[in-house]
Amino acid sequence: MPRPRKALLSREIIATAALEMTSETGGFTVPDLAKRLNVRQSSLYNHVSGRAEIIELIRQRLHEALAVRVDVTADWADVIRHVASAQRASMAKHPWVIPLLATSPADLDATITTLENVATVLSRAGFTDRDVMLAIAMLDIVTIGASLDLVSPEDLYPAEALAQATTLARVVRAAPPGVPRADVAFNFTLDLIIEALRTRLPHNTNPR
């Protein structure tokens, strides 16, 4: 009997299915994963050692997706905006798996290259090593929160709740019309961060 042209199961196929399940339901079990792939559970163990290794495959897949191309000659503020926006968009595609990223060390070449380039840009701009380290950590904090906000409802406050909150109702009405709330809030946050970072630069440095 001739062998099938396309592999019915592989580490890549298993990781993809597990990622899809996690994105849909917040997690997966090996038995349910086998059922989704229409194979026996024992067949999975011909490719992976168990659930922990599958999680690691998902983690690697997401870290690779988060790797952002950074122009080391670009203005540092533009780099901050570019990296934050790209990571936010990538994380928002799989909000349920963000905890995997938050508890995962950045040990992949693509991720390290991105962080190295960001560190290089900020260092050349004149930031201290300590501030560069904190700025990189800040990017993770901001993008994780912003990616979750990106998939949140547009109207976060029910009308009946706003009816009892005069000041909040007024400021909610002040939001710019026709622009997604999450985008406005994200750009506002980046503006504040960049403005604050500028104050950390030495006076004799031109931050552009």
Q: Can you give the pLDDT at residue 104?
A: 63
pLDDT band (50, 70, 90) for residue 7: low
* The Cα angle at residue 84 between residues 54 and 119, in degrees rounded to 5: 90
pLDDT digits (tens, 9 = 90+) for 125-165: 999 999 999 999 999 899 989 998 888 888 877 787 778 88
Distance from C-alpha of 134 to C-alpha of 201, rounded to nearest angstrom: 14
What is the Cα–Cα distance from 108 to 118, expressed in whole angstroms? 16
Mean pLDDT of 66-81: 93
**7-66 and 69-208: identical CATH topology:** no
Looking at 1.10.10.60, 1.10.760.10, 3.40.50.620, 3.10.105.10, the CATH number of the domain 7-66 comes to 1.10.10.60
Token pair belonging to 196 = 């604050």
* Predicted local confidence at residue 107, as pLDDT: 59
The full set of domain ranges for the chain reads: 7-66, 69-208
**What class, spelled out in words, does domain 69-208 have in CATH?**
mainly alpha
- Taking the CB of residue 44, how many other CB atoms lie within 10 A of it? 24
> What residues contact 94, with CB distance under 8 A and at least 6 apart?
19, 22, 23, 62
The pair of three-digit structure tokens given for residue 170, joined into one six-digit string: 């007024």
Q: How far apart, in whole angstroms, are the C-alpha atoms of residue 26 and residue 47?
A: 23
Q: Provide the whole-model pTM.
A: 0.76
